[in-house]
Chain A
Amino acid sequence: MLNWLPEAASSYAGDFDRLLSTINWITGVWFLLAEAVLIYLVIRYRRRPGRRAAYLPANSLRSMSFVLVPCAVILGFDLLLDGVSAPVWDEIKLQLPPHDEQVRIQGEQWAWRITYPGPDGQFDTADDIETVNDLRVPNDKVILFELTAKDVLHSLWIPELRLKQDAVPGRTIRGWFRPTREGEFEVICAEICGFAHSMMKGSLRIESAREYERWLASKAAEPRRG
């Protein structure tokens, strides 16, 4: 229901979309039910000459049950939602499965600075590869990212991955995703970050492993400054 999200491109998107659909159904049915009762009552009990309203102050628990029982059912649905949603949160945000590739992403006014460990697989070495607004990852591999911010808050937002995470100066936040669909997607900043916040945009390119390796190799071969 309400399937308006962009086509998914990550391994956890399926679980996410299923959870969202469950929530849409539960809240949608409750919403329509409540509106229907509201409208029905207004029409059914419109003022008519000679008809007096009933005196129902609902002082007893028995009469209050007309409200309390539906609310108890809501409590049941609440607990159900807690139960089905916590695992999805844990999958996306708490777990860090063993990774195939690592990348550092830094938000700054107003760009995404991306760092790859380079051929030696180690960060902070001479062969690190750095790009601006150009994030490339191999398809179907677990990507571990370390997210930081240089100046103010930013928020890494890639709708197709169902992934959003604030970048905070002074903190390194680790997260992961496993892309499942090749293509190019926008890397958005979702947190207001000053003058050019609206123009802060990078690209995520999900490529085949071979294309990705070729690109990495060409980057590594580029002469670097300083």
Chain B
Amino acid sequence: MTTAAAHAHPESFLRTYVFSTDHKTIAKQYLVTGIFMGIVGGLLSYVIRMQLANPGQSIPGYGVIGPQQYNALVTMHGTIMIFWVAMPILLAALANFLIPLMIGAKDMAFPRLNMMSFWVFFLSTVVLLVSFFVPGGAAAGGWTSYPPLSGTAAYSGGQWGVTLWLLAVALEFVAFLMGGINFITTAINLRAPGMRLFDMPLMVWMQVAAAVIFLFSVGPLIAGALLLLLDRLAGTGFYAPAAGGDPILFQHLFWFFGHPEVYVILLPGFGVIAEILPVFSRKPIFGYRMIVYATIITGILSFIVWAHHQFIAGIDPRLATPFSITTILISVPVAVILFSFIATLYRGSIELASPMLFALGTLAVFLLGGVTGIHLGVAATDIYFHDTYFVVAHFHYTLIPPVAFGFFAASYFWFPKMFGRMLNERLAHVHFWLTFVFMNLTFLPQFKLGFMGHQRRIVTPTFFEALRTPEVEQLQSMATVGAVCLLLSQILFFANVAWSLRRGEKAAPNPWRANTLEWTTPSPPGHGNFDTAPVVYRGPYEYSPPGRSEDWFPQNLAPEKGAGS
């Protein structure tokens, strides 16, 4: 087929919706897959929480849960939420949709690579889901899959669960490597004329930073996973002490990736907030460059903190204090980012629309996740809190803000652009308040359980005398009520989406009066995005600039010649 012929005929259904190279379609594919996996991961947490509130009782819709099943549930819940929800939604979907639109490009730098990235990811999703149904069940050694437990079937139960888990994770990383290369190349090469690096929206900075961090950190984990796969399939002994190997080697390789990964997820969430705060405060973001530099410093520091996951793992105890110092130090650049966000509100004109509510909710919740990181980053107190519910509460308080709140903020903000319809605002407010309240009801009690010494990943807390107290049982029940209500509250979101897709008010190109380039396209943008190629004259956050009657100044609006108003 010649190029002319390809243009003459409308693209086939398969090319438009399935094997599409359009970044917006690929974004939607990632989004739908991520949301589907989010529902799977959410249902797993329902089973986990029901078991913890009423150990041993039959769970409606599931049945009675055994110890191996419970181990598999917590393993797969963590794996899915990090790798198959946070990554596809926050990175792949948001970056794919927004980077070209925000920098004024027609598509990604490598559209075919982009398509391949999604389909490899899709394959990894299938492999992971299949692993639920193999003999012996899904992987059950924790989402970190530490050997020797994950090293042989003799220790971990089934032969196939961990093997498929490793295969799925490796495939997924291949997908995100292809995606990450695309994000970086696109942002560097395809910016609209006039857009300097420091005119890019912070979302683009954050996505590029996340992609760079991912590229640099993922190598060791892929090596680590490969060695583990060889241990399982070829009988090598990289992690088997009897064969001269060392189980702790895997932990180093895992966390050298695993901790930067936290920032890979966190930064795009921060990017969402950075876009929403100025629009709904009608103010420039406070300290744009300072935020960019703080992000880069955070990214660099994230590479030298990994051993804080291993303070008590048997590493040389003299290593703890140096890693403790770097870990606590990372609070400074992160505080710069958070305080800049908060300072953006100062003397603003704040409208509490649904995207803003979720953005502010992200800040409010993340602050607690941040400060409780100190308890775990200080090596001495980590002795007590490591592997307790305190850790569980802490990482949910750090990850739910960017992943869930950030996703909802982004949805309420960019849904009109993506689908051409507005979401119902009143329903969105109810959704926010229920989500906010029940999130806290679920995880605040878990901090207290951690203080009380409650270890994580046990199927029957009542087996332990110290945990067989009315107070522990009450806290577990509170968390379960919170979790079930939190899950049910999400029906409001899906109902809103389903209703609005068909009946929602038609969205104008720029319903929020925002400055960045994606709002100059039609809602939704067609193939090729921009009717006329945009030219950029200023930064992304020129809100309420002096000497202008409107309180916004789009990036692409040419300055009036000799204008005095």
Contacts and interface: CB of A to CB of B under 8 A. Distances in A.
B155 to A, nearest CB: 5
B320 A89 contact: yes
Nearest to A184: B465
A41 B286 CA distance: 14
Interface in A63-122: 63-64, 66-68, 70-71, 74-75, 78, 81-82, 85-86, 88-90, 92-94, 109
A27 B384 CA distance: 17
B471 to A, nearest CB: 9
Contacts of B381: 16, 19-20, 23, 85
A59 B198 CA distance: 12
Contact of A55 (B242, B245, B284): B284
B494 interface: no
B61 interface: no
Given A55-B544, A78-B328, A197-B458, A45 B346 contact: yes
Interface string A133-160: 0000000000000000001110101010
Contacts of B340: 58, 67
A6 interface: yes
Interface in B451-478: 451-453, 455-460, 463-466
A9 B549 CA distance: 69
A90 B374 CA distance: 18
Interface residues of A, number: 84
Nearest to A5: B451
A171 B245 CA distance: 11
A143 B452 CA distance: 25
B312 interface: yes
Contacts, number: 280
Contacts of B37: none
B488 interface: no
Given A47-B349, A152-B155, A197-B457, A169 B148 contact: yes
A171 B242 CA distance: 11
A109 B67 CA distance: 14
On chain B, which size bracket covers the interface?
A: 35 or more
Interface stretch (B126-134, B174-182, B365-373, B510-518): B365-373
B380 A45 contact: no
Contact of A186 (B312, B329, B465): B465
A47 B283 CA distance: 12
B135 interface: no
A57 interface: yes
Contacts of A14: none
A95 B363 CA distance: 41
Contacts of B459: 198
Interface in A11-39: 16, 19-20, 23, 26-28, 30-31, 34-35, 37-38
Given A27-B372, A170-B247, A89 B379 contact: yes
Interface string B277-296: 00001111111111000000
A219 interface: no
A221 interface: no
A126 interface: no
Given A54-B544, A81-B374, A170-B241, A45 B342 contact: no
A19 B380 contact: yes
Given A75-B332, A164-B387, A52 B378 contact: no
A95 to B, nearest CB: 10
A201 B463 contact: yes
Interface in B327-356: 328-329, 331-332, 335-336, 338-340, 342-343, 345-352
Contacts of B71: 192, 194-195, 197
Interface of A: 2, 4-6, 16, 19-20, 23, 26-28, 30-31, 34-35, 37-38, 41-42, 45-48, 51-59, 63-64, 66-68, 70-71, 74-75, 78, 81-82, 85-86, 88-90, 92-94, 109, 151-153, 155, 157, 159, 162-171, 173, 186, 188-199, 201
Given A30-B371, A57-B284, A89-B320, 19 more contacts: A20-B381, A34-B338, A41-B350, A54-B347, A56-B286, A57-B541, A59-B288, A64-B290, A68-B336, A86-B324, A86-B379, A93-B312, A153-B148, A159-B384, A159-B466, A162-B384, A166-B312, A169-B247, A190-B455
28 contacts: A19-B378, A38-B363, A42-B345, A42-B350, A45-B347, A46-B352, A47-B351, A52-B551, A53-B281, A54-B347, A67-B286, A81-B378, A86-B321, A89-B383, A93-B320, A155-B386, A162-B384, A164-B387, A168-B313, A168-B314, A186-B466, A192-B146, A194-B157, A195-B68, A196-B67, A198-B67, A199-B460, A201-B463
Interface of B: 67-68, 70-71, 140-142, 146-149, 155-157, 241-242, 245-248, 281-290, 312-314, 317-318, 320-321, 324-325, 328-329, 331-332, 335-336, 338-340, 342-343, 345-352, 360, 363-364, 367-368, 371-372, 374-375, 378-381, 383-384, 386-388, 448, 451-453, 455-460, 463-466, 541, 543-546, 551
